Structure 1
Amino acid sequence: MLKLFGTPKVETPPDLDNLNLECFYTSKEFEYINNQLKNNILKINGHPVNLFELDKNRKLIPMLQIPYCKEQVVAEIAAQLRNWNIQTRQGVEVTISQVLQLTNEQAWSFQSALFTPIFLVEVADIGVDTDNPKFREVDKRFKEKLITQSMVVQLGWLIDPQHKQIYIYRKGRRCSNPGWKDISGENILPGFVLDISLINRIIDPILPAPSRLSQVQANCPYCNNAFNNIYELIKHLESVHC
């Protein structure tokens, strides 16, 4: 018996040079675009783009490349959150953009539904005051999209290390500006305090004086194991006793 089949339809992959940010993209198209960005340079309005995210309407959101110092500040905040998570055993997941809890499917693919974090930090250049378009744009995003309309996000921080500004957004409350000092995670991140002095080391670097501390033998106060330097002791404490 002879069976005739129609020619299978071949999907045309998105053209990286002609992306339409107002179009809707499938999960497969979204994954294809981000994979292409690993080996290709894409600029939008003159700014290089590292990757895209999808909004709730499945439109592309370009994630622009960021300056070195800003990357270092983001990494430092993530490191402090990670250490707090290990020490307090909160069971949350920390990424460079979100603190969230994921299913296994969400963690390993782009196929799942979008997820919403409970806590957000944005590091941005917003200027020295609130009367400028850069601050108004980010402030509006926090108030109208990230905090107010979300059913999950409870706390958000807007941090400008370049101008030493911090703004705190809480669900159902007005934005506050506590000044450039340590800030608490409140009841959302119980026991967490962001150490601003460690961020100051990044934005106002001072060469440390020579120290022999790292070479001094240190003993664990819990099991009395000996280590050749303080860094090995810290790693041991985190992995065994925290």
Structure 2
Amino acid sequence: MEENINLDNLDLDRSYTVEEFELISKKLKFSSIEIKGQPVNLFELDKSGKLVPMPPTVISMEAVACEIARQLANWNVWTRQNGIVTSSQGGYDFNVGGSVTIRAPDVAFLTRNVYNDLTQEQRDSFQGDPFSPIFAVEVSDLSDRSVFQNLDDKIKYEYFAPESSVKRVWLVDPKNKQIHLYRRGMNRYLWEWRNIDGGEVLPDFVLDVSEIDEIIEDLESESSASSSSQGTERLNGSEMSVSAEGSATSSSSTSSSSDSPESFDCPICDETFDDYYYFMRHFENEHVRLKRRRRRRVRN
């Protein structure tokens, strides 16, 4: 079969088997192709077995998707959901109309119970029984009406297909600051650009959109403009104050010390920290994940 798959001569009008789809996906790990002037290194598979090209995402949209995945993953650990968070590299068979339909949401969440029940074939290929996440996110600039229409149809008719397990979907447009909320059996709702919760599907999870704002806003140019107006230059951690005559005097910067916390203790054990990152890493590994590992050893 491998000899019959030529990445430079793929026929997007023909139907491909799941085995052929998997082979194409493996080959694209080491190379990319160009379709209609756009580089492509990922395909989805629609219910007719036809390849759906997925060009690389621009960095601003990918950064937002990663931020949503980060917040979701933190919630997953801190609330001990122990589920699986996937990115656009993780494909699911939504089994639309009983046909193999492989889609890869920008962000998705699969419960631990479902993941534990998967066979090795399901985990390692698309050839086992179909399964899908309970929550999905798509991130895109929806300024083009056709882009919105395509994603809206994808969500309504594929993610919410009767055979799918998806209960909630967010369509996030960071450029125009919109979030479209989809819930199974309910009409689409246009959410204001504000924090949004996961409802009963993701209990206690709240997406903080201010973190997304920091990504999409041009903070660097604002900072540069602010620095220029103050007539200062920063060099190697020191602040150079520029006088009207053009001479410069140096004073030590205190920003790094002011950002550092005083020493503090872990509320559960006797460890002491003076850095938030190391405290969070300690707390997660020793007081969140450790309990999970102990429970797993008991079960085994």
Q: TM-score range by the shorter chain?
A: 0.7 to 0.9
**Which of residues 111, 116, 135 in structure 1 aligns to 2:132?**
116
Partners of 2:13 and 2:266 in 1: how far apart? 57
2:201 maps to 1:210 = no
Partners of 2:255 and 2:152 in 1: how far apart? 43
Partners of 2:286 and 2:200 in 1: how far apart? 27
**Which of residues 147, 150, 167 in structure 2 aligns to 1:134?**
147
Correspondence list, 1:1-242, <5 A: 12-96=3-87, 97=105, 98-100=108-110, 101-102=114-115, 103=118, 105=120, 106-127=122-143, 132-206=145-219, 210-212=255-257, 213-214=259-260, 216-242=262-288
User: 1:22 and 1:91, CA in 2 relative to 1: closer, same or farther beyond 3 A?
Assistant: farther
Partners of 1:210 and 1:140 in 2: how far apart? 50
User: 1:85 and 1:217, CA in 2 relative to 1: closer, same or farther beyond 3 A?
Assistant: same
Comparing 211-220 with 82-91, greater Cα deviation is found at 211-220
User: 1:11 and 1:199, CA in 2 relative to 1: closer, same or farther beyond 3 A?
Assistant: closer
* Aligned partner letter, 1:157: W
Question: Post-superposition, which runs of at least 4 consecutive aligned residues in structure 1 deviate over 4 A?
Answer: none
Count of paired positions: 230
Partners of 1:232 and 1:13 in 2: how far apart? 52
Contact 1:126 1:135 in 2 (8 A): yes
Structure 1 spans left out of the alignment, 5+ residues: 1-9
Q: CA deviation at 1:113?
A: 3.5
Partners of 1:113 and 1:80 in 2: how far apart? 30
Q: Percent of aligned pairs with the same residue?
A: 41
Q: Which residue of 2 aligns with 1:4?
A: none
TM-score (structure 2 length as normaliser): 0.69
Partners of 1:136 and 1:18 in 2: how far apart? 29
User: 1:142 and 1:27, CA in 2 relative to 1: closer, same or farther beyond 3 A?
Assistant: closer
The Cα RMSD (Å) is 2.4
Q: Tell me the SS of whatever aligns to 1:169.
A: strand
Which has more strand, going by share of residues?
Answer: 2
Q: CA deviation at 1:141?
A: 2.0
Deviations 1:31-90 (A, max 9, x none): 321222222221222221122233344432322200111111111111111111111112
Q: CA deviation at 1:216?
A: 4.7
* Aligned partner letter, 2:285: S
Comparing 198-207 with 75-84, greater Cα deviation is found at 198-207
Quick check: which has more Rg, 1 or 2? 2
Which has more helix, going by share of residues?
Answer: 2
